[in-house]
Amino acid sequence: MVCFIMYKKLFHLVLLTLIGLSLRAHAGVILQYHHVSETLPAVTSVSEETFTEHLNYLKNNDFNVIALNELLDALKQGYTLPDKTVAITFDDGYNNNYDQAAPILEKFGYPYTIFVNPKLIDEGKRYVMGWDKLKELIKKGALISNHTAQHDYLHVKLDGETNTQWKERITQDIVHSQQRIKEEIGHNYKYLAYPYGEFDNELQALVTELGYIGIGQHSGALNKHTNFSRLPRFPASGVYSDIKTLATKLNSQAFNITQLSYENSVTTQNPPVLTIGFQVDDFNKSQLACYVSGIGKANLNWVTDNTVEVTSPKKLNKGRSRFNCTAPSIKKPNSYYWFSQPWVIQ
């Protein structure tokens, strides 16, 4: 009888351990906001009511909201994280982040990151927070990181500028901005949020060379296999703020991608061609679907058992566009794998 009880306790212990392991992952999601306001452009804004609704969803559904540095450090080092891990970010450092967003975040006890433009702060631009407000926010759980000096298109070369001159100019922009944040705030997190979410191959290579993690605005979850020069974030403002669709994104997973090939994110190739190699272990290939911004369903051509070529049935409009690819998880009901490829068509 004693042995039976001991074996029963051991069985329960093993079962609980397995359940705990199943609820851990090498993955996470980053949310991106700009304004928390009802008076500024709706496309990049959420109201205080909607923002509170988002945070309530995270709280009521047991999401693990952690600081961005904790998420990225864990993924880079291959550590496991609790399932449903999320980091919250804001771009540009607008005053409403201080007046509207910060008090709501403080009530929930959630950390967050603000990507700022130091030159605009130093120039005293009235629509962004000054260093004094940012210093207050770091005492309440905020991290401050780099969004370049003044929000320029980093991949765009000036008239007559050589590749060497472009590289020197952008290096100076990034490094000086980082230094100003360190001088004023004391933070030195080498995370660069690309202005407008735009990047090309050369910019990714430079950011990596300088020792930074590059962060975009294209949607998707991330894991330890994600390219750290182009991390995705889910925009959560404007048309993307609806809690029903946002919930699907928050519960998404990152594909295990073994190959990612394309000419360039900023390209004259139109339509562009994207080749993705997957570790196909938790989704059915027949259920992979990719969509083109403003056009509809993309063409898929499986060139090998694990590699698919994605193309658009029509030419893309000039400017920003995306291919979004999703597939439902086999093991995790109501969860989708999600990957986005951003384009700037020239």
Confidence of residue 26 (pLDDT cuts 50, 70, 90): confident
Q: Does residue 20 carry a pLDDT above 60? A: no
Give residue-wise pLDDT tens across range 223-238: 999 999 999 999 999 9
Confidence of residue 12 (pLDDT cuts 50, 70, 90): very low
Which residues, in sequence order, are bridge partners of residue 85?
A: 64
Per the CB < 8 A criterion, the answer to whether 135 and 185 are in contact is yes
Q: Does residue 6 carry a pLDDT above 50? A: no
Instruction: Work out the angle at residue 93's Cα, subtended by the Cα atoms of residues 143 and 74, and round it to the nearest 5 degrees.
Output: 30
Q: Which of 11-20, 109-118, 208-217, 241-250 has the lowest mean pLDDT?
A: 11-20
CA 252/CA 134 separation, integer angstroms: 32
Give residue-wise pLDDT tens across range 85-113: 999 999 999 999 999 999 999 999 999 99
Domains of the chain and CATH, by start: 25-251 (3.20.20.370), 259-345 (2.60.40.1220)
Which residues, in sequence order, are bridge partners of residue 257?
A: 278
3-state secondary structure of 56: helix
Per the CB < 8 A criterion, the answer to whether 169 and 161 are in contact is yes
What are the angstrom distances between the C-alpha of 334 and each of 22, 44, 82, 130, 234? Answer: 16, 28, 18, 43, 18
Q: Which residue in 139, 144, 141, 140 sits closest to 129, CA to CA?
A: 144
Which residues, in sequence order, are bridge partners of residue 327?
A: 337
Q: Calculate helix-pair angle for 163-184, 131-138, nearest 10 degrees.
A: 60
Q: In what order do the strands lie in the sheet with 299-302?
A: 257-261, 273-278, 307-311, 299-302
Task: Give the CA-trace dihedral at 186, 192, 194, 195, to 10 degrees.
Answer: 10
Give residue-wise pLDDT tens across range 189-198: 999 999 999 9
In b/e form, how buried is each residue of 157-176, taking b as 16+ CB within 10 angstroms?
eeeeeeeeebbeebeebbee
CA 19, 22, 27, 32 dihedral sign is: negative
> Which pLDDT value is given to residue 10?
41
Compare 64 and 2 and report the one with higher pLDDT.
64
Proportion of the chain above pLDDT 70, given as a percent:
93
Give residue-wise pLDDT tens across range 308-333: 999 999 999 999 999 999 999 999 99
Identity of the residue numbered 119: K
CA 165/CA 322 separation, integer angstroms: 30
Confidence of residue 148 (pLDDT cuts 50, 70, 90): very high
Q: What is the mean pLDDT of residues 272-296?
A: 97
CA 340, 85, 215, 135 dihedral sign is: positive
> Which pLDDT value is given to residue 27?
87
Q: Does residue 68 carry a pLDDT above 80? A: yes
